[in-house]
């Protein structure tokens, strides 16, 4: 006679899993790690007895990192960085997913760091993954609690980053800008030129909508008000447009009823593609990132004598010194600041290169910046 199903055990693939709600404890969801039903039943009985001891005598229930990671993702579904966090947790799962939280520390992450470095993963990427692990452990030690009032983890361990030289910002010279823009296809050239004159982040740039545009009659022009859902820090951001940015914007009108930047009638969702990579290689800028366009905007503002407070406002940085309401005179001042970078000016800026030469072909040491050329379409 066939045996009936054991309450609390379900089979996923070939492995038996526990899925059971326990009074006074909560949900118990974990793998038994076995394909044998009898062994799975023994493990279930062991876990139920263990939980009974916990609820009666006040011991800290063991929680596996995978459970805590799942809880983190469920509670933070609103985060813009959720996909990145989920990717990080998937990456570390083979190393620490089945370990109790008390066993997750620097030593248990050592092999993860070693394997990632062996694959050529940059230190910054590995450290971002470690930061997500650190966040889960901190919540386990300070916020998340069992029904008996005890935290998931007694104390969050100290996790160290791997060492590695970060990739430095690379603001473009006017000549580099000229070479690069002329190699791009028209739709990417428009995006790049607009970014060089507004300093938008990539997500802000690609998601730009026409209904965010607001006319300012006193100035005879418009600005964009980006909602907090589309900015990195969650705050609304005012984007003023200098004359080059306005020229790019006017060329986009009528192409799409909602999105500002489109390609073949469809919204542009990314800029780093084959066309971008080929263009930067032909221009001798093989490691140029989209974020370097934003750095270029900020660099040119500083070179033009724009104050730190005004640069923060134009770049959308969060600051207690920046007002959340702008009058027409405020916007006129920011517009005047943004217009200062429209015309290339001669001058020398020192770029210190630590490598023995960049892929772009520049020479280590100091080089002149802004010594020639004019911006495309300017």
Report how far apart the first and last C-alpha atoms of the chain are (Å, whole number). 84
Mean pLDDT of 41-65: 81
Q: How many helices (H) and strands (E) does the chain have?
A: 13, 8
Q: What's the pLDDT tens digit per position in 292-310? A: 999 999 999 999 999 999 9
Contact residues for 247 (Cβ-Cβ < 8 A; gap 6+): 377
Is the pLDDT score of 372 beyond 80?
no
Q: What's the pLDDT tens digit per position in 122-181? A: 898 999 999 999 999 999 999 998 877 788 998 999 999 998 776 788 999 999 999 999
DSSP secondary structure string for all residues of 139-168: HHHHT-B-TTS-BS-SSPPP-PPPP-PPPP
Q: Which residues of 243-282 are buried (b: 16+ CB within 10 A; e: fewer)?
A: ebbbbbbeebeeebeebbbebeeeebeebeeeebeebbee
Q: What's the pLDDT tens digit per position in 250-272? A: 999 999 999 999 999 999 988 98
Range in 32-46, 208-222, 350-364 with the lowest mean pLDDT: 350-364
- pTM here is 0.63
Which band of pLDDT confidence, cut at 50, 70 and 90, is reported for residue 30? Answer: confident
Is the pLDDT score of 314 beyond 80?
yes
Q: Which CATH superfamily groups domain 174-339?
A: Intergrase catalytic core (1.10.443.10)
Which H or E element spans position 224?
Answer: strand 221-226
Average pLDDT, the chain: 84
DSSP code, position 229:
G
Distance, CA of 60 to CA of 50 (rounded, Å): 10
Are 275 and 224 a contacting pair, CB within 8 Å? no
CATH number for 65-142: choose from 3.40.1130, 1.10.3470, 1.10.150, 1.20.120: 1.10.150
Contact residues for 13 (Cβ-Cβ < 8 A; gap 6+): none
Res 3: pLDDT: 57
Which H or E element spans position 12?
Answer: strand 9-12
Longest Cα separation, the chain: 91
Determine what percent of the chain is predicted with pLDDT higher than 70: 86
Query: Per this entry, what is the length of the chain?
Result: 378
Helix, strand, coil shares, percent, the chain, to 5:
45, 10, 45
Mean pLDDT of 352-375: 40
Q: Which two tokens stand for residue 298?
A: 């900020």
Q: Which two tokens stand for residue 164?
A: 């590695």
Give, in degrees to the nearest 5, the angle at Cα 43 between 37 and 47: 145
Res 360: pLDDT: 41
Is the pLDDT score of 355 beyond 60?
no
Domain regions of the chain by residue span: 9-57, 65-142, 174-339
């Amino acid at each position: 006679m066939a045996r009936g199903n054991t309450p609390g055990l379900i089979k996923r693939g070939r492995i038996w899993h526990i899925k059971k709600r326990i009074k006074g404890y909560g949900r118990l969801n974990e793998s038994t790690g076995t394909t044998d039903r009898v062994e799975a039943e023994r493990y279930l009985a062991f876990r139920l007895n263990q939980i009974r001891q916990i609820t009666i005598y006040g011991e800290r229930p063991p929680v596996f990192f995978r459970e805590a990671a799942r809880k983190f993702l469920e509670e933070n579904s609103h985060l813009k960085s959720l996909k990145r966090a989920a990717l990080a947790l998937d990456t570390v799962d083979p190393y620490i997913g089945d370990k109790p939280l008390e066993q997750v520390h620097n030593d248990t992450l050592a092999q993860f760091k070693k394997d990632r470095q062996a694959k050529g993963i940059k230190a910054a990427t590995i450290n971002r993954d470690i930061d997500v692990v650190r966040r889960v452990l901190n919540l386990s030690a300070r916020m998340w609690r069992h029904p008996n009032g005890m935290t998931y983890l007694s104390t969050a361990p100290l996790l160290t980053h791997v060492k590695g030289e970060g990739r430095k910002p690379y603001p473009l010279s006017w000549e580099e800008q000229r070479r690069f823009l002329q190699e791009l296809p028209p739709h990417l050239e428009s995006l790049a030129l607009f970014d060089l004159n507004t300093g938008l982040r990539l997500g802000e740039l690609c998601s730009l909508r026409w209904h965010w545009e607001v006319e300012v009659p006193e100035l005879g022009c418009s600005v964009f008000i980006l909602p907090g859902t589309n900015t990195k820090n969650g705050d609304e951001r005012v984007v003023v447009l200098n004359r080059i940015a306005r020229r790019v914007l006017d060329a986009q009108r009528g192409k799409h009823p909602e999105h500002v930047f489109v390609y073949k009638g469809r919204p542009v969702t990314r800029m780093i593609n084959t066309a971008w990579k080929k263009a930067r290689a032909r221009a001798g800028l093989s490691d140029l990132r989209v974020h370097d366009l934003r750095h270029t905007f900020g660099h040119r503002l500083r070179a033009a004598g724009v104050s730190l407070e005004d640069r923060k406002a134009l770049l959308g940085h969060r600051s207690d010194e920046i007002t959340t309401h702008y009058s027409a005179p405020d916007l006129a001042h920011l517009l005047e600041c943004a217009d200062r970078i429209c015309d290339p000016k001669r001058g020398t800026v020192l770029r210190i290169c630590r490598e023995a030469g960049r892929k772009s072909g520049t020479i280590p040491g100091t080089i002149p910046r802004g010594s020639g050329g004019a911006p495309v379409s300017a």
